[in-house]
Amino acid sequence: MAKESKKVLVLFAHPSQRRSEVNMPLFKAAKLVEGVTAVDLYGEYPDYHIDIDREQKRLLEHDVVVFQYPLYWYSTPSILKEWQDLVLEYGFAYGSSGTALHGKYFMCAITAGGKEEAYKADGYNHFKIRELLTPLEQMANLTGMQFLAPFALFGSRTALEEGKVGRHAESYRKLLKALVEGEVDFDKAIKSEKITSNNIGDVLKESVL
């Protein structure tokens, strides 16, 4: 049986890109993957005047939606919240007639400053990383999208000096390519807590390992 390819939309949000040591390399990697549309939201909308029709059209044209961003105060940078508030309208994304996103997949590609062990019940941040993304998971649920486990890099503040950035960017490229080519085990990705460079093989099909 032929694999069904998917179109992937990456919505990138970083309000201080000149200071970005991880997210900019990730975004550059995303732009090189065929089948991926990579959008710099702060670059396109520096005044926050989001073109709702344009963004809704982008959503309709893609099968997988990825929010890529640094985790700020356990949430997204502000432009992603603005994007949700304006683009995911009643009658388009939710409500009795708002079925435009039904059947699509949604995931977050995030960088977190804290170490991985900080994100658990008895850790510094008290919650697992997926638990902190519950509002976005419920957004996906309400709009009829399947929420995939977040692709996460922990310890982002020291990732460059520790030599983690290149490996993580390559894992991101591999994950996006697998999403495009239908080589992700979506059942496993839906059930997982998180996807990292260390366990990415758990959600990829054997043919790409």
Domains and CATH numbers, the chain: 8-208 (3.40.50.360)
pLDDT at 78: 95
| 57 C-beta neighbours (distance < 10 Å), count | 11
pLDDT at 41: 97
pLDDT at 32: 95
Tell me what the mean pLDDT of segment 122-126 comes to.
83
pLDDT at 132: 94
Tell me what the mean pLDDT of segment 124-147 comes to.
94
| Cα(42)–Cα(46) distance, integer angstroms | 5
Angle subtended at Cα 104 by Cα 95 and Cα 198, rounded to the nearest 5 degrees: 130
Reply yes or no on whether the pLDDT at 209 is more than 60.
no
pLDDT at 1: 42
- Which amino acid belongs to residue 71? L
pLDDT at 118: 83
pTM of the model: 0.93
Contact 132, 152 (CB under 8 A): no
Tens digits of per-residue pLDDT, 74-90? 899 999 999 999 999 99
